[in-house]
Amino acid sequence: MKYEAVIFDWAGTTVDYGCFAPVQTFVEVFQDYGIRPTVEETRKPMGMLKWDHIKAMLGMERIRSEFVKRYGREPENRDVDALHSRFTEKLLKVLDQFSEPKDYVCETVAALRAAGIRIGSTTGYTDEMMAIVAREAKKAGYEPDCMFTPDSTGHMGRPYPYMIFCNMEALQVTSVAAVMKVGDTISDILEAKNAGVTAVGIVEGSSELGVSRAEWEALSGTAREALAREVEKRYRDAGADYVIADIRGVLECVADSTL
């Protein structure tokens, strides 16, 4: 069946190579709270609604133990609220610096539109955060046809499928079989699977890869291949239908559907 719409994630997929804006901010706010999360712990829930992300981190055994040792009690929702408030305040101050479209995004989107495919988007950011990201990305040439955040779905973000369904309604898509969702986290893949649409994981510049452009380019070809295989396995294990090196691979996935 021919695809009618491709729905992209934002940070790590279409903007913010390596998805560093939220990662750095999560680490900072937990450190402000007297807890030092690892980058691996911080990235594991990436793609979720940010409140849910913080709650997931507080539920991790090592972080929970640190919290109990420091505060003498189990973490509660009021702690999630406090961390989330601080996270939002810090992130809003830096988002405009992390909104540049990744390589090949504008060209790929133009090619999709030329093929009659509509462009949607979902995110773990809030409306307030996306007002900044979308504004800056538009200045640089990237603007999807529609955008939905967890604010649009009663704060039920990934892995729930509802943001995808909002896109489908707005884009007037006829079937889940005609939709492709592209993202850079396991949460993106689960969102797509729960919606019944084609799930695509992107490797380069992704949160799952977790390296900067400079770090990636400094690696040997062998090291790049090994890291890419690790990321692909995680995507495949989560149910990804396709795994692509960069966003240009979406065009190959679309072409594959017409064979």
d(CA 241, CA 243): 7
16 is catalytic: no
- Please give the Cα distance from 150 to 139 (Å, whole number): 24
On whether 188 is known to bind a ligand per the annotation, the reply is no
Active-site residue, 9 included:
yes
Contacts of 250 (CB under 8 A, 6+ apart): 6, 108, 112, 180, 182, 200, 244
> 93 vs 34, 42, 87, 140, 234, CA distance in Å?
22, 20, 10, 19, 32
184 annotated as belonging to a binding site for a ligand: yes
Catalytic residue among 16, 44, 50, 188: 50
Place of tokens 């993202």: 183
Q: Does the annotation list 11 as a binding residue? A: yes
Crossing angle for the helix pair 20-32 and 77-94, nearest 10 degrees?
130
List, as residue ranges, the binding site for Mg(2+): 9, 11, 184
Q: Residues comprising the binding site?
A: 9, 11, 184
Known catalytic residues are 9, 50
